[in-house]
Amino acid sequence: MIEIKRCENPDVLNEFSIVPNDGTVVMAACEKEEYFGVGVATINGNYSVLEKIEMKDEYKMFDMDFGMGKSVLNMLDLAGIRYVFSNIEDERLMTALRFKKNADIPEDVRPNKTYKYFLCLDGYFTVHKCDGE
């Protein structure tokens, strides 16, 4: 059974070229202690940046990336993060995760650089909207 859980294993971080710093959180997908994918975010006070979603070649598929993305967002939501930014280039994935391009960013969020995508996690996992969002 595939598990996606928080990971600090130095071998996994090295394998996926992750250099953690203050605020870095890593989620890893594994089955029977074989790690095959990661999702990386950096928490910066009142917002987070989804930095990376990467799977090993034999596991590269949209559903795996989407599941990893949802897992990272859930972990951030449970940590009390409301706003998430990203520059991940996979537009299909970012749209499926409900990130918006050129969204109106609340004034209480001041990222220190420009990001392509923005997502507000308010109600993301608790409210189902049927109005096209």
| 17 inside domain | yes
Could you give the number of structural domains in the chain? 1
* Residue 80 tokens, joined: 């009390």
d(CA 37, CA 92): 19
Residue 107 lies in a domain: yes
Q: With H, G, I as helix, E, B as strand and everything else as coil, classify residue 65.
A: helix
- Give the H/E segment covering residue 37: strand 34-44
> Residue 38: pLDDT above 90?
yes
Residue 49 inside a domain? The answer is yes
Do the domain assignments include residue 132?
Answer: no
Structural domain containing residue 84:
3-120
| 8-18 pLDDT tens trace | 999 999 999 99
From CA 54, how far away is CA 40, in angstroms rounded? 9
Q: What's the rounded mean pLDDT across residues 92-112? A: 88
Residue 23 is assigned to a structural domain of this protein: yes
Is residue 46 assigned to a domain? yes
Predicted confidence band at 28 (pLDDT cuts at 50, 70, 90)? Answer: very high
Considering the entire predicted model, what is its pTM? 0.89
Q: Is residue 126 part of a domain?
A: no
Rounded to the nearest angstrom, the gap between the alpha carbon of residue 22 and the centroid of all alpha carbons in its chain is 17
CATH number at 13 reads 3.40.630.30
Q: Decide if 130 is inside a domain.
A: no
**Contact, 52 vs 82, CB < 8 A?**
no
